[in-house]
Amino acid sequence: MNAIISASELAGAVAGENPPVVLDVRWQLSLAKAAGEPPFDGRAEYTAGHIPGAVYVDLDQELAAAPGERGRHPLPDVAEFGAAMRRAGVSAGTPVVVYDGGQGWAAARAWWMLRWTGHPDVRVLDGGLPSWQGQLSVESPTPAEGDFEPVPTPADLLDADEAAALARSGVLLDARAGERYRGEVEPIDRVGGHIPGAVSAPTTENVGPDGRFLPAEELRDRFKALGASDGTAVGVYCGSGVSGAHEVLALAVAGVPAALYVGSWSEWSSDPSRPVAVGPDPQ
């Protein structure tokens, strides 16, 4: 099953006999509070115009629990997540397409959560809303209740101890910017650096200037050079389990299965007893 869908493919699917449920997950990491600017409002963006029939999903409220010891975007209660997806019209037998404003991180978080909880057919709109050439709608649909019942797949999820072990026994990719990995800057979390043994692999390098994923072959070559290829146990983390989901999506496009450490650096760095590595070397 393909993990991404083009805008032209989505337009055809929406007009077809079995149209997908389309979810709008516009969100972005905002440092607006520190900068004195108003925070990004995904719902306002959605109300101003969205792909016809799309239902808005709030990442902070429906794809994450409240920040705490488990990180800035810990997993929500699985039952509550399932209820949110059913309200959005998601059913097990209906395809789902997710998009955001173009960065792809939020859409990938929704994609990962649906895949992790057992949905068999979910894809991300490659390039997000900017790639959509059709008209936009300001009408908010009221979908029929879906029947999706989430059943998590434990192998797709890592906790802190499992991530640390995977950094030694397999490949653990750090999807954050290189300067955060090296510990040169840390604008959000308690301390900079990375999990010892993790390999720097910024997720921004998986896409082109238009925000669309690089061809699958190029992604396979990139991940192979980082030590991540099919047959190797691969895990990913980031700052709080959002951009890391985008890297898991890129790995899926490349044909490489990977698990996600959702707590990521926001959880890891909150515990002073956990080791921190700095500089370009994984160790």
* Residues identified as active-site: 238
Q: Where are the alpha helices (DSSP H) in 78-215?
A: 78-87, 105-116, 160-169, 178-181
Token pair recorded at residue 122: 């979910």
Rounded Cα distance, 4 and 98, in Å: 9
Q: Which residues pair with 199 in a beta bridge?
A: 173
Rounded Cα distance, 240 and 246, in Å: 12
Residue closest to 156 by CA, chosen among 227, 233, 49:
233
Residue closest to 113 by CA, chosen among 222, 23, 2, 229:
23
Owner of token pair 């097990």: 92
What sign has the CA pseudo-torsion 135, 120, 210, 64?
positive
DSSP 8-state secondary structure symbol assigned to residue 129: G
Inter-residue contact 199 to 172 (CB < 8 Å): yes
| Distance set, CA 27 to CA 44, 133, 139, 143, 217 (Å) | 11, 21, 20, 22, 29
Enumerate residues 6+ apart whose C-beta is below 8 A from 16.
Answer: none
Owner of token pair 């590595």: 277
